[in-house]
Structure 1
Amino acid sequence: MTSPEQPPKIFIIGGTGAQGIPVITALVRDSKYRVRVLTRDPSSARAQHLLSLNPSNVELVTGTFTSESDLRSGFAGCMGAFINIDGFNCGEKTEVFWAMRAYELAVADGGIEFFVYGNLDYGYKLGGYDRQFRSGHYDGKGRVGEWILFQNQQNQKDGKDGKSPMKAALFTTGPYIEMAIASATPMTPTVEDDGIVTWRVPLGVNGAVPHVALDDCGYYVRWLFDNASRANGVDLAVAIEHVDYSELARAFTAVTGHAARFIDVDMEAYWASGPMSRVANFASASESDPADPAFMTIRENFTGFWNLYRASRRDNTGVLKRDYALLDEIHPGRIRSVEEWFRVENERGIALGKGSLWERVQPGKIRPTLKGNEDGKKGGGGGLIFKFHLSVGCSLII
């Protein structure tokens, strides 16, 4: 437990991911919380960046979430936990087991008061168990998320040795809007020969993606820990808006003055020449075994991913939905549209010397936003899978 002289400490898995960095930034910015971050490589640039945020409030510990001893050590002495497992590293089956085991160990530790699980929509179930919506990295997290909320309900009824039971909440995200202007993502744009920025993706003419702004993730997770009693049992599903890609292109042009367009392509064309076509038959998780019946290729996994968004709608109907009124209440200053995000990001990029949005999507200039894209991974088939490795929402991102 935390001593009266020190801020409460939160154990974090996924702290060096795209989502983890803004989450930790929000938690330690005013020294209200300390964090203990589990990482396989404390010397990495991302881990060292976390230390620089608030050196006295950020602790790095070497280990892996697939070790019970590392998990027990991580929970020890902490008040809270934020668990965002990288399913693109371990695969759906492994994530399901270790996410559940992490929750169980947090309860058993006895000191964890509030457990937040980095979640994704259980699209397969939301889509009526129609196999077209089967996406392993979504279903793995969504399946665990429902299990955690059920366990939490039971814990609140039963208590534990007369003590206050551990509270829990889900933090459900989706594709980061940053991925729409980054390399090596499912929606990487191109600047085509006619000079027009182009998104060629299989979204359909009516589909929409509830994109998430990474900076907002930090605000929401901080809100969860600041309001644990209200957040207990809540699935906080976030987004800026349901973005159809015609609007994405219109907004890009409105902000930059440069022409942009969305071209809907069928799934076959997407896998033949789209941004992930060269790795379509690689493992969707870098450490998964092709001999395992649970194995999924990138093509199999992301076909379900795109079908989920083809079946969602800009008016917040369809398979995937968000409670935007709740998000407005919780975060009055949140980004509410893709055009607003483009304006903020365009100004920020110029101020930081990264260039305007137009400059940043040019061939040779476009950069990754996801941790796996930077690291390079070993694929389940034994070869180098990519410096193209995908880590969507994992928290992913995460």
Structure 2
Amino acid sequence: MSAQQKSSLPQKLVVVVGATGGQGGSVINSLLADGSYRLRGITRNPQSKNSQALTAKGVEMITADLNDAESVIAAFKDANIVFAVTNYFETFATSGPEEAMKVEYAQGVNMAKAASVTTSLEHFIWSTLPSRKAISKGKCPVPHCDAKAQVDAFIKKDEALLAKTTFLWTGLFAETMQHPMLVPNLLQSAGKCVWLQPVPASTLVFTIGDHTINVGHFVHAIIKQPKLTLNGKYVFATTEITTMGKLLEHWSEVTGKETEYLHITLEEYNRLWPMWGLEVGSDLKCWDEFGAESWASEKCFGRQELGLGQELVGFRDALVTLLKSPHN
């Protein structure tokens, strides 16, 4: 097909949930660069600076309440492709893990139901994570993973929707090394930045590097290759497999600061960062105990099969951008 013929085809409408967030914003940017799609971004505040910037680029920005099923159905109207994502930690921060799981599951189900009644829909991409509770046989429940996996199970009960679905797992974001329990802290009397973690430095880590860039590349590739990615396939979005110790080495190299890795217990970790320590630490403990098996609940494929490479930004390069930004 010639370029002229392609340009005469009607553009597919892609609806992106969380359009001003890290994952959704990444998808918007990648598809804007392609130029072949009409884009509708869902946000809670279309008047925000970030929303207005996307509007100026030609994105249709609308508001929708993921807790309201009818609102989501209206937001998905006429969509050919939907990228769906939730924000577990927003509810977690104010209401704790149990309520956050309930809200995340309800929002995920609302989006799945809305997708199932969108007659124009061709492709539903759901950003999710494997159930640590299932993988560990109940030993390592991790609410922010387990709630998303429950939505997977709901989708799988709808054969018609499952045929249009791709499940997207994402590895550790480089950005998390700016979070309180994952940023090395200066111990002045030692003159070193100490990283207190509830797992040994040898613990395997699957990372996506810069999620604000890489999620978009993965979703773009998923959309462009439906024969490979439809019918309930799982895509694991990563840039590299490394270790906790290596992540600290990267941080030390980028900042120029001397560091020390200290392995503490999960109980101590949670005392330092109540509630958050247990949530994050339980996930890390699962990685330590089960290694690659902590991501093995489904057969999945990744960057190589999708033909991705140099465009992806790895963990160290992502840290360079994050730690040298004006906000740090």
- 1:13-43: CA deviation from partner (whole Å, max 9, x where unpaired): 2222222211211111132122212211112
What is aligned with 1:119? 128
Higher helix share: 2
Residue 167 (structure 1) aligned with residue 145 (structure 2): no
- Contact kept in structure 2, 1:209 and 1:244, CA below 8 Å: yes
Q: Distance in 2 between matches of 1:195 and 1:334?
A: 38
Give 1:5 deviation, angstroms.
5.6
- 1:241-283: CA deviation from partner (whole Å, max 9, x where unpaired): 333222122233445543223211112221233xxx2xx2xxx
What is aligned with 1:203? 199
What is the identity, as a one-letter code, of the residue corresponding to 1:76? K
Of the candidates 222, 236, 250, which is equivalent to residue 220 of structure 2?
Answer: 222
What is the identity, as a one-letter code, of the residue corresponding to 2:182? M
Of the candidates 145, 152, 157, which is equivalent to residue 145 of structure 1?
Answer: 152
Give 1:10 deviation, angstroms.
1.2
- Contact kept in structure 2, 1:38 and 1:64, CA below 8 Å: no
Give 1:60 deviation, angstroms.
0.9
Percent of pairs identical after alignment? 18
Q: What are the residue-to-residue correspondences of 1:293-372 with 2, within 5 Å?
A: 297-313=275-291, 317-321=292-296, 326-330=302-306, 331-333=308-310, 335=312, 341-343=315-317, 345-346=319-320, 348=321, 354=325, 366=328
- 1:310-330: CA deviation from partner (whole Å, max 9, x where unpaired): 2243xxx34235989742232
Residue 155 (structure 1) aligned with residue 133 (structure 2): no
Residue 189 (structure 1) aligned with residue 198 (structure 2): no
**Alignment gaps of 5+ in structure 1:** 157-164, 281-296, 356-364, 367-398
Residue 176 (structure 1) aligned with residue 173 (structure 2): yes
Give 1:93 deviation, angstroms.
1.5
Count of aligned pairs = 308
Cα gap change, 1:47/1:139 in structure 2, threshold over 3 Å: closer, same or farther? Answer: same
Give 1:300 deviation, angstroms.
4.7
Q: What are the residue-to-residue correspondences of 1:221-300 with 2, within 5 Å?
A: 221-232=219-230, 233-273=232-272, 277=273, 280=274, 297-300=275-278
Q: Distance in 1 between matches of 2:115 and 2:277?
A: 35
- Contact kept in structure 2, 1:173 and 1:237, CA below 8 Å: yes
Higher RCO (CA < 8 A, seq sep 6+): 1
What is aligned with 1:289? none
SS, match of residue 172 in structure 2: coil
SS, match of residue 354 in structure 1: coil
Q: Distance in 2 between matches of 1:62 and 1:196?
A: 46
Q: Distance in 2 between matches of 1:262 and 1:324?
A: 32
SS, match of residue 100 in structure 1: helix
TM-score when scaled to structure 2?
Answer: 0.82
Cα gap change, 1:247/1:298 in structure 2, threshold over 3 Å: closer, same or farther? Answer: closer
Q: Distance in 2 between matches of 1:312 and 1:44?
A: 42
- Contact kept in structure 2, 1:207 and 1:310, CA below 8 Å: yes
Give 1:349 deviation, angstroms.
6.0
Q: Distance in 2 between matches of 1:222 and 1:208?
A: 28
- Contact kept in structure 2, 1:26 and 1:222, CA below 8 Å: yes
TM-score when scaled to structure 1?
Answer: 0.69
Cα gap change, 1:70/1:166 in structure 2, threshold over 3 Å: closer, same or farther? Answer: farther
Q: Distance in 1 between matches of 2:101 and 2:301?
A: 32
Give 1:107 deviation, angstroms.
1.7
- Contact kept in structure 2, 1:76 and 1:109, CA below 8 Å: yes
Give 1:171 deviation, angstroms.
0.8
Cα gap change, 1:10/1:32 in structure 2, threshold over 3 Å: closer, same or farther? Answer: same
